[in-house]
Structure 1
Amino acid sequence: MLLRWALMAMLAAVLAACTTPKPIEGASADAFSRIGRFALTVNEESGKQNAVQGGFSWSDDGRRYVLDLTNPLGSTEARVEGRPGAASLTKADGTRLVADNPDALAGEALGSSVPVSGLRDWLRGKLAPQPEATEVTSDDLGRPVAFEQGGWRARLSRYDALGPQLLVLERQEPGRRILLRLVVNQP
């Protein structure tokens, strides 16, 4: 169950510092990559707490992306690939899930709908086009630092030229609270 939440969180989105993003062939000027770590904590209403951590490597050319998720030792646990009209998740054991979009993929993998497509924009320090963001707070440069979007309350900080280097995402669901912390180590 916790692995499912880790995959969900990283589809929404993604981390060993020694991982290097693999460039996407034919990348445009929109090309973007980030490498970092994640920590995911799920607090159940019953008091049970589950936690997982690892690394991510995100490569994106503006139309398609590749997200590698690693365990704390640096071994790849899953790869998520997406482009308009298609998304896939391949686990280390070779199991593969496919869907029309990353949100549908998360729904299939996790059994619940999650707006994971927002992570693509959030890593760049932008609000996703849909669903509409609320309670938006921006810094002096107009960059979003806090907002709620798609059921997630997000706090973005430590901006560099590419986007935030710290993303704290929180989601309250019936019976559980999910907290995801992403720390970018490298552009």
Structure 2
Amino acid sequence: MIRPLLTALAIAAAAVLAGCATTPSAPRSSAAVAPYHDSIELAGRIAINYSRDGKKESLNGKFTWQQTRANTDVSLISPTGQTVAVIKLTPTSATLQESGKAPRSAPDLDSLSAQTLGWSLPVSGLRNWLQGHAVGSDGQPFVASPANDTVITRDGWKLEYMSWQDETAAVPQPKRIDVTRIALGQAVDDMAIRIVIDPPAQ
């Protein structure tokens, strides 16, 4: 009786150990990521470098950004404080007004800004990117964090989150974002945008 009992205990112990070995461990806790907000107001500095017809061009200055669930308003401001352009985007139209000129509208902001300014500001993407959100080239959602700070989007932009408002915060907010267009074959041969977001108002 003793030997069968010992054998049964050994089998039971082996089963318990096997069960422990195959049970997945609890996932390690990850840093919290910033939630997405439909409505935000931001301000900061922007530097745009691009090539057009073989000539290098650049724009440096400040910007203000206001978005709601449906609309986006962007003002680009020169270093001297002059408003260079105002962009208004709704679900059905895009309007761009340069300083001293009549506003121009079109269904598509990318082509409109490329024709009038010489470069295309990816406002639709920036609605997400400024908050650390994007869709990667693999179609999967991407949320930036200090440990996960680079992605190539499905529409051909490389996003690099270079710094954060407070990297030690429970939910870090982006501070500097470097955006590079990697698609070729368009009128603007290459383009890079550097965005520095001002700290949130206290």
Q: Would you call these one fold, judging by a TM-score over 0.5? A: yes
Q: Deviations over 1:16-54 (max 9, x none)?
A: xxxxxxxxxxxxx842011111112225796x5332211
How big is the alpha-carbon RMSD for the aligned residues of Structure 1 and Structure 2? 3.3
Matched letter for residue 161 of structure 2: L
Which consecutive residues of structure 2, in runs of 5 or more, have no partner in the other structure? 1-36, 166-170
Change (3 A) 1:101 1:123: same
1:124 aligned to 2:131?
Answer: yes
Q: Is the CA contact (8 Å cut-off) linking 1:134 and 1:147 kept in structure 2?
A: no
Change (3 A) 1:41 1:135: farther
Q: Is the CA contact (8 Å cut-off) linking 1:123 and 1:163 kept in structure 2?
A: no
- Distance in 2, matches of 1:118 and 1:86, equals 16
Which consecutive residues of structure 1, in runs of 5 or more, have no partner in the other structure? 1-28
Query: Which of the residues 44, 49, 55 maps onto 1:36?
Result: 44
Question: What is the match of residue 191 of structure 2?
Answer: 178
Rg larger in 1 or in 2? 2
TM-score, normalization: structure 2?
A: 0.62
Equivalent residues in 2 for 1:1-187, closer than 5 Å: 30-42=38-50, 49-109=56-116, 115-128=122-135, 133-134=137-138, 145-149=149-153, 150-160=155-165, 163-172=173-182, 173-174=184-185, 176-187=189-200
Count how many residue pairs are aligned between Structure 1 and Structure 2: 154
- Distance in 1, matches of 2:83 and 2:119, equals 24
Q: Is the CA contact (8 Å cut-off) linking 2:131 and 2:174 kept in structure 1?
A: yes
Change (3 A) 1:186 1:140: closer
Q: Which has the higher contact order (CA 8 A, sep 6+)?
A: 1
Q: Is the CA contact (8 Å cut-off) linking 2:63 and 2:75 kept in structure 1?
A: yes
TM-score, normalization: structure 1?
A: 0.66
C-alpha deviation, 1:134, in angstroms:
4.3
Change (3 A) 1:135 1:60: closer
Change (3 A) 1:68 1:112: closer
Q: Deviations over 1:131-173 (max 9, x none)?
A: x53498766688x621112221111243346841111011243
- Which SS does the other structure have where 2:100 is aligned? coil
- Distance in 1, matches of 2:111 and 2:172, equals 27
